A = this chain, B = another copy of it.
Amino acid sequence: MVLRQGDDVLARLEALMLEKDIPSASIQGMGFAGLVRFGFFDFERSDFQPRDFADMEITGLVGTLAWKKGKPAIHAHATASGRDFQAFGGHLLALTVGRGSFEVTITVHDRRLQRQHDESIGANILLLPDMD
């Protein structure tokens, strides 16, 4: 999947999951971000503390595509660096492609995987068929 300037990476991945009915997948990607929003999970508040970075090279995006209550549920983390090459990273909350492009490789799996909210830890967990 090759995305262009202005594309919303997470929205485009969700649309692709719906269009192709992807049961689950692992993804990797890299490219230029006009805006990337990272979050660090705050378990006290049960929410992500966000921070935005503009005009960054995404040096590595890793994630999984699954479903939650019939809707696409993407979980991705990424590392990014700017003009001074210093790297930042975190849980990916938003990513808009910058000038240039963004390439994502999607490895589709056969089994439909679900995420479920786990009350004990206050986060969504990916469920695998052989998990206890």
Q: How many copies does the complex hold?
A: 3
Out of B26, B32, B75, B79, which one reaches A89, CB within 8 Å?
Answer: B79
The distance in angstroms between the C-alpha atoms of A89 and B81, with both chains bound, is 6
Closest to A86 in B: B88
CB-based contact A59/B90 at 8 Å: yes
- Chain A facing B: main interface SS: strand
Chain A residues at the B interface, C-beta cutoff of 8 Å: 1-2, 4-5, 26, 28-32, 38, 40-41, 43, 49, 51, 53, 57-64, 75-83, 85-91, 99-101, 103, 105, 107, 121, 123, 125-128, 131
Q: List 12 A-B contacts (CB under 8 A).
A: A2-B128, A30-B62, A30-B63, A32-B41, A40-B81, A40-B83, A40-B85, A59-B78, A59-B79, A59-B90, A80-B89, A86-B86
